[in-house]
């Protein structure tokens, strides 16, 4: 059965055809990129999802930053930082940070593992269409890189007030940003839908 795709820019319908390595399909009307060839998409996306899950656990299990002021040393984790925002009256910001830096990335990785592991074994996960649409809809809400920029700005301002010691969590969080970006880039959405059509 042939598969079709509508151009994201002008809605012209195209038939999906296999592409050579590192090639992209373009719209015949407006020239917009329709889809790209992504070799070993399932394997690479799974590897990044597993790596991201490990980094996520590390980022939430160890100190994020250590602040030394005089003889006092205070360490904070990602969750305690969000909690401090909440108790200091910034509930909306705390909830937004929790949602965009913790809940969305974690949900995204778990959903992709749930989808990709059965597909890798030539099985169809239950509820694939609805879940995959959900993953695509929450993806833009992951703003870990924005949070990291805010942390870096804070570090510059605090540098003159205290001695700052980056924790394991900070390095894990930074690595997680790049791993999640690689996971998103390596994911071939058209391949997912193609496998769903083949096995339904």
Structure tokens at 124: 């169809």
141 and 59, same domain (yes or no): yes
Which pLDDT score is estimated for 1? 52
pLDDT in tens, 160-180: 777 778 888 989 999 999 999
Distance CA 37, CA 21 (A): 6
159 and 99, same domain (yes or no): yes
How many domains are there within the chain? 2
Distance CA 130, CA 108 (A): 14
Show Cβ contacts of residue 120 under 8 Å, excluding neighbours closer than 6 positions.
42, 43, 46
Long-range contacts of 12-19 (CB under 8 A, 24+ apart): 16/190, 16/194
79 and 124, same domain (yes or no): yes
pLDDT in tens, 76-103: 888 888 888 899 888 998 999 899 999 9
> Is pLDDT above 70 for 2?
no
31 and 91, same domain (yes or no): no
Show Cβ contacts of residue 82 under 8 Å, excluding neighbours closer than 6 positions.
94, 97, 98, 102
Residue the block writes with tokens 């930053």 = 65
Which pLDDT score is estimated for 51? 96
1 and 97, same domain (yes or no): no
20 and 108, same domain (yes or no): no
Distance CA 73, CA 58 (A): 21
Structure tokens at 44: 């690479």
Mean predicted confidence (pLDDT) in 7-22: 78
> Is pLDDT above 60 for 156?
yes
* CA-atom Rg of the chain in angstroms: 21
Beta bridge partner(s), residue 75: 66
8 Å CB contact between 48 and 179 = yes
11 and 80, same domain (yes or no): no
pLDDT in tens, 39-83: 788 899 999 999 999 999 999 888 888 877 776 777 788 888 888
73 and 154, same domain (yes or no): yes
**Rounded percentage of the chain residues whose pLDDT exceeds 90:** 28
Q: Give the structural domain span for 113.
A: 40-199
User: pTM to 2 decimals?
Assistant: 0.80
Which pLDDT score is estimated for 177? 92
């Amino acid at each position: 059965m042939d598969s079709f795709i509508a151009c994201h820019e002008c809605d012209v319908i195209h038939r999906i055809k296999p592409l050579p390595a590192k090639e992209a399909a373009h719209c015949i009307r407006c020239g917009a990129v329709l889809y790209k060839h992504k070799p070993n998409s399932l394997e690479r996306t799974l590897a990044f999802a597993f790596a991201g899950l490990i980094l996520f656990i590390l980022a939430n299990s160890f100190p994020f930053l250590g602040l030394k002021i005089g003889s006092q040393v205070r360490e904070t984790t990602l969750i305690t930082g969000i909690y401090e925002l909440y108790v200091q009256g910034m509930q909306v910001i705390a909830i937004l940070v929790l949602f965009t830096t913790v809940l969305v990335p974690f949900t995204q990785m778990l959903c992709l593992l749930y989808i990709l592991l059965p597909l890798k074994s030539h099985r169809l996960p239950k509820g694939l269409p609805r879940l995959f649409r959900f993953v695509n809809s929450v993806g833009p809400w992951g703003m870990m890189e924005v949070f990291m920029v805010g942390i870096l700005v804070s570090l510059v301002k605090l540098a003159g007030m205290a001695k700052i010691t980056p924790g394991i969590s900070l390095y894990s969080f930074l690595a997680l940003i790049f791993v999640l970006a690689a996971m998103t880039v390596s994911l071939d959405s058209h391949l997912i839908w193609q496998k769903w059509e083949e096995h339904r």
